[in-house]
């Protein structure tokens, strides 16, 4: 019994020593293409990117965290908006209603929208609400003598300004010169040249194409992103780490089995005999 106990202790000790002394392999590159932190610039074959953010997730149930990064690129692009019939847009600090008539329209109209409530509240002689009658909408206006007169709403409120545009026309919108690209029954399309921001999200081992080249992402620490075109080297090192983890897990099982076997043998040794 003593021999078996010693044997299991020896095996468990050897496995434990190997587990403790083994150095965990880490991924590294001899000559990475980019090693960057938040705020750094990346110039990949003429395409410029900014490292907008590098973050570490909250630990999961197993205590593991994951790293991620966001790359942003700003580039000139044709931007567009589609305005449907009845939509409201803001131009020159005023609101305008889009009106498109007919099944095959060639133009659309912007009709100025007044804040009728604000106009009524600013007029001390008028009620703050309009009055509906069978023949239309009215505003109650009281003169200096106290007499109240019902004024038709279309006469009381100022006539809205109207602007019509067809394909090819230009006007100012959101500090941009926009061009009417098309007008259909579904809506009016306006286009302009602007700056478009494209975001690319990266995680450990993810690949991304920047400037026509493919890179693999690796986070050496919580604030550093490494990008390399040597994807084969990364995959080989990742496979080595996976194999190391499997060996470590196996050695841990050996240690656990050795300890349990030792305890079991010692327990059996002290069981009193019946003879």
| Domain-wise residue ranges, the chain | 1-29+230-275, 82-196
Q: What confidence score (pLDDT) does residue 15 get?
A: 47
Q: What confidence score (pLDDT) does residue 239 get?
A: 73
Q: 48 near 160, Cβ under 8 Å?
A: no
Q: 36 near 65, Cβ under 8 Å?
A: no
Residue 265 tokens read as: 């043998």
Closest-CA residue to 210 (of 198, 219, 224): 198
Q: What confidence score (pLDDT) does residue 251 get?
A: 52
Q: What confidence score (pLDDT) does residue 273 get?
A: 60
pTM of the model: 0.58
pLDDT tens, residue order, the chain (275 aa): 565 545 545 555 554 554 555 556 577 788 899 999 999 999 998 889 999 999 988 877 766 788 999 999 998 999 999 999 999 999 988 899 999 998 999 999 999 998 888 888 888 888 888 888 888 899 999 888 888 889 898 888 888 899 999 999 999 999 999 999 999 999 999 999 998 998 999 998 889 999 889 999 999 888 999 999 988 888 877 777 676 566 566 556 656 665 665 666 556 566 566 55
**Angle at CA of residue 210, ends 207 and 212, nearest 5°:** 105
Q: What confidence score (pLDDT) does residue 203 get?
A: 92
Return the half-sphere exposure (C-beta side, CA atoms, 13 A cut-off) of residue 227.
Answer: 24
Q: What confidence score (pLDDT) does residue 158 get?
A: 86
Give how far the C-alpha of residue 148 lies from the chain's centroid of Cα atoms, to the nearest Å: 58
Q: What confidence score (pLDDT) does residue 95 get?
A: 92
Q: What is the DSSP string of the chain?
A: -HHHHHHHHHHHHHHHHHHHHPPPP----SS-SEEE-TT-EEEETTEEEEEEEEEEPPP-TTS---EEEEEEEEEEEEEEEEE-TT-EEEETTEEEEEE--SSS-SEEEEEEE--HHHHHHH-TTB-SS-EEETTEEEEEEE-TTS-EEEEEHHHHSPPPPEEEEETT-EEEETTEEEEEEEEETTEEEEEEEEEEEEEEEEETT-EEEETTEEEEEEEEETTEEEEES-HHHHHHHHHHHHHHHHHHHHHHHHHHHHHHHHHHHHHHHTSPP--
Q: What confidence score (pLDDT) does residue 117 get?
A: 86
């Amino acid at each position: 019994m003593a021999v078996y106990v010693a044997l299991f202790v020896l095996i468990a000790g050897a496995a434990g020593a190997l587990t403790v002394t083994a150095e965990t392999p880490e991924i590294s590159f001899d000559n990475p293409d980019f090693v960057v932190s938040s705020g750094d610039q990346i110039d990949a074959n003429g395409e410029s990117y900014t490292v907008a953010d590098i973050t570490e997730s909250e630990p999961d149930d197993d205590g593991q965290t994951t790293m991620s990064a966001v790359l942003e690129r700003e580039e000139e692009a044709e931007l567009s908006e589609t305005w449907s019939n009845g939509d409201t847009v803001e131009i020159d600090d005023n609101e305008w209603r889009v009106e498109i008539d007919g099944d095959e329209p060639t133009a659309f109209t912007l009709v100025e929208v007044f804040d009728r409530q604000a106009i009524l509240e600013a007029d001390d002689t008028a009620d703050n609400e309009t009055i509906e009658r069978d023949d239309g909408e009215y505003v109650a206006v009281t003169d200096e003598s106290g007499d109240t007169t019902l004024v038709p709403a279309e006469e009381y409120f100022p006539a809205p300004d109207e602007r019509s545009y067809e394909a090819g026309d230009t006007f100012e919108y959101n500090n941009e010169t926009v061009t009417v690209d098309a007008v259909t029954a579904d809506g009016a399309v306006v286009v302009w040249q602007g700056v478009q921001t494209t975001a690319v999200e990266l995680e450990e081992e993810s690949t991304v194409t920047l400037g026509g080249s493919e890179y693999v992402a690796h986070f050496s620490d919580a604030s550093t992103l490494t990008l390399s075109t040597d994807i084969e080297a990364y995959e080989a090192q990742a496979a080595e780490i996976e194999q190391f983890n499997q060996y470590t897990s196996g050695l841990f099982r050996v240690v656990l089995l050795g300890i349990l076997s030792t305890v079991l043998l010692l327990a059996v040794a002290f069981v009193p005999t019946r003879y």
